[in-house]
Every structure is written in C-alpha cells, then in structure tokens.
Structure 1
Amino acid sequence: MAAISKQEADAWDRVLDAAADLADLIESSGIEIDEYALEELTIFLARHGPVVRSMLKNLKRTWPFDDTTSVRGL
C-alpha cells in the first residue's frame, strides 16, 4: 500500500464528506437508485466538483417545483 500525505488524506476525506451529502440529497428526493450506484455516482460527482460547479454556475435558482411536485410528475 502506498503511503499518502496528511494533505492527500484530508482531501480524500473532504471528497467522502461531499459524497455523503450528495447521497443524502439524492435519497431525500425519492429517486430510486441502488446503493452501489449511488455511492459510485456521488463519489464521482464529488471528485469532479470543480467541473460540476462550472456546469451549474449559471443556475440562479432552483427549478420552480414545490415540495409536492417531482420531476417525474411533469
């Protein structure tokens, strides 16, 4: 096993924390996704945070849905 620096370990911990937050968001939305796929997706998104942020930066507000409307309901 290769040794990693404290800085690298801390960076990875931040990725995992962001992935956990993303997983909570996705799970709370009611989207059905299996646990493995959710984990892979959220880690991918967290690892590519700067790219994702760049893609979403022009969004000024959330979609005009209230708490009772889902994307699937459109």
Structure 2
Amino acid sequence: MAIANGADFNLLDSGAMVGHVRFGGGEIVIDKYDAASKTISGHFSASGKDETGKPEELTGGRFSVIPVTAQ
C-alpha cells in the first residue's frame, strides 16, 4: 500500500520528543497475515522533510504481530 496523503511522525528519544517529520510518500507492505491469531507483520519506508525543510528518509521500518480487527 502506498502512502498517498502523507503522515506525520514525532521523533522520540527516551520518550522525549526531539523532532517532527512530515512524510509525503512511502510504502507499507504486509508480509504475513496470521489468520489464527488475527495479526499482521511487515515492513515500511517513507520520505519527507523535517520541520526545518531538511529531507528525511525512513528505511527498513518493521512491524510484527500487530492485532487486526474487523471494522
């Protein structure tokens, strides 16, 4: 799934916010759906700019065993 509308991320260090990035594009890929436990796992990447306009890249992001529910 492509990130079409953008996304905002706060950058944290030990729980304290140290920056903010507005991502304008990227990709989220679901690599595994476990029907028995109703969870997903996958990876993601994104590109955008921080609050000063500096370009930022997010690569190699991963998520695992995230519960999913019917809406």
Assess same fold via TM > 0.5: no
- Give TM-score scaled by structure 2 length: 0.25
Greater Cα radius of gyration, structure 1 or 2? 1
Pick the structure with more strand per residue.
2
Pick the structure with more helix per residue.
1
